[in-house]
Amino acid sequence: MKTYLLPSIKLTLILIVLTAGIYPLAIAGIGKFTPGKGDGETITYKGRVVGYANIGQKFTKDEYFWGRPSAVDYNAAGSGGSNKGPSNPDYLKQVEGRIDDFMKHNPGVTRSQIPAELVTASGSGLDPDLSPAGAKVQVARVAKVRGLSADAVNKLVDEHTEGPWLGLFGPAKVNVLKLNVALDGLKK
């Protein structure tokens, strides 16, 4: 073992410099030229940073589109899912509660119109998106509270719907924060 100990220690030292020093510093340097300058892309409204483009935030007021339920309450200092199993009775009760709550705030919506993502927690607890159906089902509520026409709000949702990647791969989605920022910017 002794024959190998000294080379092992020296090799470890030089590889630490290479893989944990030089490599990430080079990437950090390149990151300065990216849209968020490597710090993460923020969204600004009326001259104030109101959030990160990729990170979901809590919307509970009726005048905003709601995002998905979050196991960490959208506290982005941490992250995580509920880790509830599909057969867990407490979990299923919780989902029932979310459905009731959603229907109370969105009168006229039937259960079959509610897509699953609106009543299930995301994996990260910070999911920034909804499916287009998840946004559309809230249009009537948002339009009514804001005194807007449903058509205008529908149009806004369509404008903020991002199609599949390259138009071919993966699901379509709506970024909830961007949608709500645009909503606040709408003239009545």
Q: 110 near 60, Cβ under 8 Å?
A: no
In 10 A of CB 142, how many CB atoms?
24
Could you say whether residue 49 binds another protein (CB under 8 A)?
Answer: yes
Q: 130 near 173, Cβ under 8 Å?
A: yes
Candidates 51-59, 142-150, 152-160: pick the segment binding another protein (CB under 8 A). 51-59
Name which of 96 and 159 has its Cβ closer to another protein: 96
**Size, binding site for another protein by CB under 8 A:** 105
Could you say whether residue 113 binds another protein (CB under 8 A)?
Answer: yes
Q: What DSSP string runs through 22-56?
A: IHHHHHHHHHTTSTTTTS--EEEETTEEEEETTS-
Name which of 115 and 154 has its Cβ closer to another protein: 115
Could you say whether residue 106 binds another protein (CB under 8 A)?
Answer: no
User: Which one among 31, 149, 150, 159 touches another protein, defined by CB under 8 A?
Assistant: 31
